[in-house]
Amino acid sequence: MTPILHIENLSKRFQTHQAVDSISISIPRGSFFGLVGPSGCGKTTTLRLIAGFEEPDSGTMALEGKTINHLKPFERNVSTVFQSYALFPHLTVQANVEFGLRRKGMTDVARRTREVLELVHLTGKESRYPAQLSGGEKQRVALARSLVTEPAVLLLDEPLSALDPNLREQVRVELKALQRRVGTTFLFITHDREEALSMSDSLAVMNHGKIEQFGSPQEIYLKPRTKFVAAFLGAVNWIGGIGVRPEAMKIATTGLPATVLQTVFLGDCIHVIARSAAGEEILARLSRFEDVPAAGAQVHFTWSPADELRCEA
Amino acid sequence: MRRTALAPAVVVTLLLFLAPMAVIVAYSFLSRGAYGGVEPPWTLENYTRFWDPLYGAILLRTFWMAAVSTALCLLLGFPLALFISRAGERRTLYLHLVMLPFWTSFLIRTYAWMFLLRDTGLINTVLMGLHLIKEPLPLLYNPTAVVVGLVYGYLPFMVLPLYASLEKLDKSLLEAALDLGARPLDVLFRVTIPLCMPGIRAGSVLVFIPCLGAYLTPDLLGGGKSIMIGNLVQNQFTTARDWPFGAAVSLALMALVMVFMLVLLRRDNEEFP
Distance from CA of A250 to the nearest CA of B (A): 50
**Are residues B273 and A131, on separate chains, in Cβ contact within 8 Å?**
yes
* pTM, entire model: 0.82
**What pLDDT was estimated at residue B1?**
59
**Are residues A104 and B180, on separate chains, in Cβ contact within 8 Å?**
yes
**Domains parsed from chain B with CATH numbers:** 23-269 (1.10.3720.10)
Indicate the pLDDT class of residue B34, thresholds 50, 70 and 90: confident
Indicate the pLDDT class of residue B131, thresholds 50, 70 and 90: confident
**Are residues B181 and A145, on separate chains, in Cβ contact within 8 Å?**
no
Of A53-57, B62-66, B189-193, B230-234, the poorest mean pLDDT is in B230-234
Q: Is B170 on the interface with A (CB under 8 A)?
A: yes
**What pLDDT was estimated at residue A241?**
81
- pLDDT of A313 higher than 70: no
**Are residues A103 and B195, on separate chains, in Cβ contact within 8 Å?**
no
**Are residues B180 and A129, on separate chains, in Cβ contact within 8 Å?**
no
Q: Which residues of B touch A88 (CB under 8 A)?
A: 173, 176-177, 191, 195
**What pLDDT was estimated at residue A158?**
92
Task: For the beta carbon of residue A57, count every other beta carbon within 10 angstroms.
Answer: 15
**What pLDDT was estimated at residue A55?**
94
Residue in B173, B181, B194 closest to A86 by CB: B173
- pLDDT of B271 higher than 60: no
- State the span(s) of chain A assigned CATH 2.40.50.140: 235-309
Of A221-235, B164-178, B251-265, the poorest mean pLDDT is in B251-265
Of A54-58, A116-120, B37-41, the poorest mean pLDDT is in B37-41
**What pLDDT was estimated at residue A164?**
85
- How much is the mean pLDDT over chain A? 92
- How much is the mean pLDDT over chain B? 86
Task: Name the CATH superfamily housing domain A5-227.
Answer: P-loop containing nucleotide triphosphate hydrolases (3.40.50.300)
Q: Is A145 on the interface with B (CB under 8 A)?
A: yes
**Are residues B181 and A89, on separate chains, in Cβ contact within 8 Å?**
no
Q: Is B273 on the interface with A (CB under 8 A)?
A: yes
**What pLDDT was estimated at residue B272?**
59
- State the span(s) of chain A assigned CATH 3.40.50.300: 5-227
Torsion angle, CA of B109/B112/B117/B122, rounded to 10 degrees?
-150
**What pLDDT was estimated at residue A213?**
93
Q: Which ipTM score applies to this complex?
A: 0.87
Task: Name the CATH superfamily housing domain A235-309.
Answer: Nucleic acid-binding proteins (2.40.50.140)
Q: Which residues of B touch A146 (CB under 8 A)?
A: 179-180
Residue in A51, A84, A90 closest to B179 by CB: A51
Q: What is the pLDDT of residues A79-127, one digit of tens each?
A: 999 999 999 999 999 999 999 999 999 989 999 999 999 999 999 999 9
- pLDDT of B270 higher than 60: no
**Are residues B273 and A104, on separate chains, in Cβ contact within 8 Å?**
no
β-sheet bridge partners, residue A156: A81, A188
